[in-house]
Amino acid sequence: MNDEQMREIMRHFDVVAEQIESKLAVVAEGHDVLRRQAEAFRDEVRREFGEVKSLVRFSYAELDQRIQRLEQEVEAPGRGWNGWRRRWAWVEAA
């Protein structure tokens, strides 16, 4: 193998190495874009999940208040099931 053939082989490998570097840069850039999209998606899901948790807490608190009111109403003297039974007996007796 002479010097000219060696130089040609070296030029060929330089071209191939540049192509590989170029393709690797494209892959790295695509990876960076995907990473940023995943982070944005994660942030959006985290924010929306927080909103859902807040709504559930609010709904739970509201339902808890309604249940407590009903329990107090049932347990109140003259009210509740016994109070209703007395009223119904009075209606039937009339």
At residue 76, φ and ψ (nearest 5 deg) are -65, 140
Tell me the average pLDDT across 63-76: 80
DSSP 23-38: HHHHHHHHHHHHHHHH
> What range does the domain containing 12 cover?
3-93
Radius of gyration of the chain (CA): 38
Domain count, the chain: 1
Global confidence as pTM? 0.52
What pLDDT score was predicted for residue 71?
77
**Summary mean pLDDT of the chain:** 87
What pLDDT score was predicted for residue 61?
87
User: Which tens digit of pLDDT belongs to each residue from 3-44?
Assistant: 899 999 999 999 999 999 999 999 999 999 999 999 999 999
Distances (CA, A) of 28 to 13, 18, 87: 22, 15, 79
